[in-house]
Amino acid sequence: MPFAISELTLTYVPRTRRRIGDRAFFVAAPRAWNRLPTELKLLRSTDLFCRDLKTFLFHSVYGHQDTD
């Protein structure tokens, strides 16, 4: 049975029993990765990934604003 691309780019997020465990790197990192757009996760070039990640994070914080 073939997998969808979105299923292949998801990372397992371990469950924790306490709220402080949710902030641990081994929980927070996969959660952050899973929130990224699929197009970003599929990039093969490190340079392109870093460039597009920066743009994605900028837009997620400041929103997309047209300069016109």
pLDDT attached to residue 2: 47
Per domain, the residue ranges of the chain are 20-61
Is the full-model pTM beyond 0.75? no
Locus of tokens 């900028």: 58
Q: What is the pLDDT of residues 21-67, one digit of tens each?
A: 777 888 888 989 999 999 999 999 999 999 999 999 999 999 866 65
> pLDDT by residue (tens digit) across 10-23?
778 777 777 777 77
- What is residue 36's DSSP assignment? S
Q: Tell me how far apart the alpha carbons of residues 53 and 17 are, in angstroms, rounded to a whole number.
A: 31
Residue 3: pLDDT band by 50, 70, 90 thresholds? very low
CA torsion 67-50-60-27 (nearest 10°) is 180
pLDDT at 66: 60
